Chains A and B, each alone.
Chain A
């Protein structure tokens, strides 16, 4: 492992990657590694694992709030759009209905509420997960191909100035198997 590449100013990040045989072992291992003071711990599993949020120490989810904001924005935009068009800008007399007739505005208001709420849920996941991110150092490991198939992984980012072997030792003590240290490649 070299510290930094000469000239380019690129300092590769290092990750310790460990495999666990079962989801229960992974949950236990995640808690132990975090208890040893490691901050940027993540797990990689083919499907969501029950209880992983607690193990990773995630307390608050941001998506519900984002979706609520999207829903409110959708409702406000829709209703004010209809109001502006049919009452302020160009009142159109159709069958002598009043220009502002609330029941007729419900369907479009509802649809745009759902549209913007769903759009913000979708965009929210990508924004919060910082995806699309085609390259991540954990992909350097050949073994990691199984993370989306049938294997359960734990990854710890090695903080700058810390010896990766020391982190690996902690992960091993927390039950991690086939431990690898992966280095980010320059691209």
Chain B
């Protein structure tokens, strides 16, 4: 419309890189951000989708086998046999945390750069939590009975869940996290669904998006309450996201196992979660911005900022490692000392430990350099290393502690079974399938919020363009 078109909307002299590139209006943003929904699926999308579906098929096989054969197929006759289930649950749930951090915490901190990546990251949160939930559900062996043991409802068993157990806290934490993330995501999506409805050409799509948009008509009265609700949801999600991985870490920290029984776990897990989540966002975003034509709203500045967050959280994780080792030595506890300085560093699982140190401590140091942060190929490869490193961290924590606990009778080497590996690969397939469908049917960037940001920046730039002081 008649809003001023300024070529360069950057108004911060210290930050010359822009958040929205080129001369954009509401109409051009609308077209360019929705076009990936309207155009047909390309060969690349189908290729990725078939790989994802194949892995999803593997998941179906592995889940069916687990239910048919029992959890013995995971090798569960010693404590360490649970390792893959725990590792993958913690890994996936951590990946979800970046989405909530971007959508909620960065909103409260008024970080404008969150705007073009929040939708994308929130979707990853939802899908990652679905993958995570699968593991505790399947590990019960008979998931259709799980509700009897986990949820407090008056049953003929006459017994209630044990509310002092972190595992029950986990049920509440993770299910709340999923529900709140879904509500937050859908609330943000409604205005975009309305613009999908209004710019769709085919009557069927118009009906479907119209149903989902619930008759949103951009009313000023609705926006007033909507903005409040969105802000409050962000405010509620902020402590929620911190609590979720804190409670996940309680599953470990409340036990007495050497290597798990530490008070640093909650902050260290939360930092690790954000670290791995940002890495996963980068891994998907760098190709997606290219193939979906989103380079004008997901600019180098966004990538750079994400690298900085990875650097900061990577340093926090490093600090966590240092403190764990320090306390193991300082406490004078021989089991702790042996766990950290013998089993982890020189034991049979040592290669995983050293890979973890390489990926999580050394690789993020690359992000100190601007030349690295602006080189997409290096950032992409580094983000994959971080994903691997965080998986190794969970492997190290779970396996090394469990395969050498206090009772030598439960000591055994750990090797995942084919079912374990298929379940893990299968959840990657589930995640990819859901994500590719999301990219096909829903705008990957919050169109409404980007338009609002453009409008805001144009408004701020006006007095400057006129030569006046602001």
Residues of A with Cβ closer than 8 Å to B? 21-23, 30, 42-50, 52-53, 55-56, 58, 61-64, 67, 81-82, 85-86, 89-90, 92, 94, 97, 101, 104-105, 107-108, 110-112, 114-115, 117-119, 121-122, 124-126, 128-129, 131-136, 138-139, 144-153
- What DSSP secondary structure best describes chain B's contact surface? helix
> Are B214 and A150 interface neighbours, CB within 8 A?
no
Residues of the A chain whose Cβ atoms lie less than 8 Å from the Cβ of B227: 48
Question: B163, B222, B452: which has the most chain A beta carbons within 10 Å?
Answer: B163
CA distance A92 to B157 in the complex (A): 14
- Take A48-B226, A48-B227, A111-B172 as given contacts and tell me if A129 and B219 are in contact as well, using a CB distance cutoff of 8 Å: yes
Quick one: which of B168, B232, B233, B452 contacts A47, CB cutoff 8 A? B452
CA distance A148 to B452 in the complex (A): 12
Closest to B197 in A: A148
- Take A58-B224, A86-B160 as given contacts and tell me if A44 and B219 are in contact as well, using a CB distance cutoff of 8 Å: yes
Question: A82-B163, A90-B159 known; 10 other A-B pairs, CB under 8 Å?
Answer: A45-B218, A46-B30, A48-B226, A49-B220, A50-B456, A52-B220, A53-B224, A85-B163, A115-B176, A121-B232
B130-167 contact mask (Cβ, 8 Å, vs A): 1 or 0? 00000000000000000000001000001111111110
Quick one: which of A101, A124, A132, A150 contacts B164, CB cutoff 8 A? A101
> Are A63 and B243 interface neighbours, CB within 8 A?
no
B190 CB, min distance to chain A CBs, angstroms: 8
Closest to A133 in B: B215
Segment 173-230 of B: residues with Cβ below 8 Å from A: 173, 176, 179-180, 183-184, 186-187, 191, 194-195, 197-199, 210-211, 214-229
B350 CB, min distance to chain A CBs, angstroms: 35
> Are A121 and B217 interface neighbours, CB within 8 A?
no
CA distance A112 to B250 in the complex (A): 18
Quick one: which of B237, B243, B448 contacts A110, CB cutoff 8 A? B243
Quick one: which of A49, A111, A125, A151 contacts B225, CB cutoff 8 A? A125
> Are A114 and B239 interface neighbours, CB within 8 A?
yes
> Are B220 and A125 interface neighbours, CB within 8 A?
no
The 7 A-B pairs with the shortest beta carbon distances in the complex, nearest first, are: A150-B26, A132-B214, A43-B220, A85-B160, A47-B452, A107-B169, A148-B195
Residues of the A chain whose Cβ atoms lie less than 8 Å from the Cβ of B214: 126, 131-134
Closest to A48 in B: B223
Segment 11-35 of B: residues with Cβ below 8 Å from A: 25-27, 30
Residues of the A chain whose Cβ atoms lie less than 8 Å from the Cβ of B166: 107
A151 CB, min distance to chain B CBs, angstroms: 7
Interface size bracket, B side: 35 or more
> Are A150 and B239 interface neighbours, CB within 8 A?
no
> Are A108 and B223 interface neighbours, CB within 8 A?
no
> Are B27 and A149 interface neighbours, CB within 8 A?
yes
Residues of the B chain whose Cβ atoms lie less than 8 Å from the Cβ of A43: 218-220
**Residue B2 at the A interface, CB < 8 A?**
yes
> Are A128 and B225 interface neighbours, CB within 8 A?
yes
> Are A21 and B243 interface neighbours, CB within 8 A?
no
CA distance A105 to B164 in the complex (A): 7
Residues of the A chain whose Cβ atoms lie less than 8 Å from the Cβ of B376: none
Residues of the A chain whose Cβ atoms lie less than 8 Å from the Cβ of B152: 81, 85
> Are A122 and B187 interface neighbours, CB within 8 A?
yes
Closest to A122 in B: B183
Closest to B246 in A: A107
Residues of the B chain whose Cβ atoms lie less than 8 Å from the Cβ of A105: 163
> Are B162 and A92 interface neighbours, CB within 8 A?
yes
Residues of the B chain whose Cβ atoms lie less than 8 Å from the Cβ of A124: 225, 229
> Are B27 and A150 interface neighbours, CB within 8 A?
yes
Segment 86-105 of B: residues with Cβ below 8 Å from A: none
